[in-house]
Chains A and B, each alone.
Chain A
């Protein structure tokens, strides 16, 4: 005996599910195809890569071997460039945290005179597109004599990362109760002790989020890196990737392999800190 009510209900479920799949499958393909294509090139010998197949006839890790042994003209400084990227990203993360945490503490907790104005200036910088600042920044770094020096990229990236960092950290510190500071002052704590023993521990989640943000921003940066650094020994990985295009017969399978290696750390960091990133950044990014 059929139960019309039940079967009708589940048919409706199936229809809903089908409609959701009709959205989900294109979304999945759209997201994955460029990434899969990169992966496909990384595991394909040159002939397979250029044949347009969806899976290589002879999948291989040979490309990775070439990259790791630096056995190609374009890859002869791979390790140096990888290391440059690491050092610059780490320095930008650390410096941004120092600069922004100090500024946010000063504006939000110490209510320094003019703090509001500094915050507005920082916000203003945050909204000016970074590519527009790149042109005068290039010239300025030349005037400072910093071109082709890692410090030029580090300082430029700190400049770009700080405004957002200050703003998010200021929002987060405003949420800490004033009574905490007052109680600490009553107990005879100095400003520095409050900063170190009360403020920093409570701000930890936001600090992790902002540190990650600054590190990823620096690791991923192409435009500034390519303007400010040009010497093969000084450039970062993304600039080296861009330089592959200089030749007509670029080894695309090696380019994609190097790109794949370069893309892994930020993806891993992102997923490891996803909780912090989503909580700390998207909530702060756009307040309705």
Chain B
């Protein structure tokens, strides 16, 4: 539908007379974005791919234990972290759809993590988890008389905490979207189910889930793509440490960059592409209908 005039004017007069004034304006108005796109997307991407062309980069990556660890961490982050987050969001969307004044107010507060910038709040969590002075270990000590764990110095706990921070930050956004999905379901369906004496599980299984599953899957995939780029949750909480054991691909790329190994940084991103591109393709199919 974009090209509407090519059909009846196929006998090619000069370009300027083929375009209506509106189309000339169309090109002029599209030009700023095209310039931005060429200068800051196309050129960097091509340049980056050119830098990452040598096979030796991939051998170096393969031999770097930090890269393997980062790949595994990223996978854990995406597969476990995102699914837990989306399940909680699905559950909470049901909670926030309840008609109560206090729940309305709570939903306003609940948005806060998404509304405030992530840097100060992540650093706040970082200090809470400080083994000596942090609030969490003080609390554990007061309750049990024992010292709490050395949170961010244990790679497993540190990665778990990074995932928790990520969930804390982005849960409100996804819950909000799932609430809109839930509110779009016709209320008559639930009333009819009520009359038939359906349990809450049956209502969820046969009314809510069928109407929401497409949205839910779309959200999960989109969240996975975006979480690949979540640099802050890991970098500001653990800095990739201890001993570079909690890196994910996004922080690893920046680590190589800081070490002046730009071609390795690009190669690590290229390695992620076989996973990213199918997801992106799928999302574009879905959203550009």
Q: Identify the A interface with B (CB < 8 A).
A: 20, 23-24, 27-28, 30-35, 37-38, 41, 50-52, 54, 98-100, 102-103, 105-107, 110-125, 127-140, 143-144, 155-156, 158-159, 162, 166, 190-192, 195, 219-220, 222-223, 227, 238, 241-242, 244-245, 252, 255-256, 258-260, 262-263, 266-267, 270-271, 274, 278, 282-283, 285-288
When distances are taken between beta carbons in the complex, the residues of chain B under 8 Å from A283 are 180
Chain B CB within 10 A, most for which of A110, A274, A282, A288: A288
Q: Identify the B interface with A (CB < 8 A).
A: 1-4, 6, 21-23, 25-27, 29-30, 32-34, 36-37, 39-41, 43-45, 47-48, 51, 92, 95, 98, 100, 102-103, 106, 108-113, 115-121, 123-125, 127-128, 133-135, 137-139, 168, 172-173, 176-177, 180-181, 212, 214-215, 218-219, 222, 225-226, 228-232, 235-236, 239, 250, 253-254, 256-257, 262, 265-266, 269, 272, 276, 279-280, 283-284, 286-289
**Whole-angstrom distance between the alpha carbons of A191 and B22 in the complex?**
6
**Whole-angstrom distance between the alpha carbons of A241 and B226 in the complex?**
24
27 contacts between A and B (CB under 8 A): A27-B106, A31-B110, A37-B128, A37-B135, A41-B127, A99-B36, A112-B26, A118-B33, A122-B33, A123-B288, A124-B280, A127-B222, A128-B280, A129-B230, A135-B254, A135-B265, A143-B47, A156-B40, A159-B36, A159-B37, A220-B117, A260-B120, A262-B120, A263-B117, A266-B115, A266-B117, A288-B181
> Is there an interface contact between A286 and B26, defined as CB atoms closer than 8 Å?
no
> Is there an interface contact between B30 and A115, defined as CB atoms closer than 8 Å?
yes
**Whole-angstrom distance between the alpha carbons of A288 and B286 in the complex?**
8
Contact of B168 among A34, A103, A137, A267 (CB under 8 A): A34
Q: Which residue of B lies closest to A125 (CB)?
A: B41
When distances are taken between beta carbons in the complex, the residues of chain A under 8 Å from B36 are 99, 155, 158-159, 162
When distances are taken between beta carbons in the complex, the residues of chain B under 8 Å from A143 are 47
When distances are taken between beta carbons in the complex, the residues of chain A under 8 Å from B98 are 20
When distances are taken between beta carbons in the complex, the residues of chain A under 8 Å from B138 are 51-52
Contact of A34 among B124, B239, B289 (CB under 8 A): B124
**Whole-angstrom distance between the alpha carbons of A162 and B36 in the complex?**
9
When distances are taken between beta carbons in the complex, the residues of chain B under 8 Å from A123 are 284, 287-288
B116 to chain A, nearest CB (A): 4
**Whole-angstrom distance between the alpha carbons of A191 and B235 in the complex?**
48
A94 to chain B, nearest CB (A): 12
**Whole-angstrom distance between the alpha carbons of A35 and B284 in the complex?**
36
> Is there an interface contact between A129 and B225, defined as CB atoms closer than 8 Å?
yes
> Is there an interface contact between B176 and A278, defined as CB atoms closer than 8 Å?
yes
> Is there an interface contact between B26 and A110, defined as CB atoms closer than 8 Å?
yes
When distances are taken between beta carbons in the complex, the residues of chain B under 8 Å from A222 are 118-119, 231-232, 236
Chain A CB within 10 A, most for which of B106, B123, B250: B123
> Given that A31-B113, A136-B45, A155-B36 are contacting pairs, would A286 and B218 also be in contact in the complex, using a CB cutoff of 8 Å?
yes
Q: Which residue of B lies closest to A268 (CB)?
A: B115
When distances are taken between beta carbons in the complex, the residues of chain B under 8 Å from A190 are 21
> Is there an interface contact between A38 and B181, defined as CB atoms closer than 8 Å?
no
**Whole-angstrom distance between the alpha carbons of A245 and B236 in the complex?**
9
Q: Report the 5 A-B pairs with minimum CB-CB distance, sorted nearest first.
A: A129-B229, A259-B120, A52-B138, A112-B26, A136-B48
Contact of A52 among B92, B111, B139 (CB under 8 A): B139
Contact of A286 among B29, B110, B111, B177 (CB under 8 A): B177
> Is there an interface contact between B30 and A20, defined as CB atoms closer than 8 Å?
no
Q: Which residue of B lies closest to A263 (CB)?
A: B116
Q: Which residue of A lies closest to B218 (CB)?
A: A286
**Whole-angstrom distance between the alpha carbons of A94 and B146 in the complex?**
55
> Is there an interface contact between B276 and A128, defined as CB atoms closer than 8 Å?
yes
When distances are taken between beta carbons in the complex, the residues of chain B under 8 Å from A111 are 1-2, 4, 26
- Name 9 extra pairs, CB < 8 A, besides A50-B133, A106-B29: A27-B95, A113-B6, A113-B26, A122-B37, A123-B284, A129-B230, A136-B51, A256-B124, A263-B121
> Is there an interface contact between A223 and B124, defined as CB atoms closer than 8 Å?
no
**Whole-angstrom distance between the alpha carbons of A111 and B152 in the complex?**
54
> Is there an interface contact between A262 and B30, defined as CB atoms closer than 8 Å?
no
A2 to chain B, nearest CB (A): 27
Contact of B32 among A38, A103, A223 (CB under 8 A): A103
> Is there an interface contact between A127 and B44, defined as CB atoms closer than 8 Å?
no
Contact of A219 among B117, B225, B265 (CB under 8 A): B117
When distances are taken between beta carbons in the complex, the residues of chain A under 8 Å from B111 are 270, 274
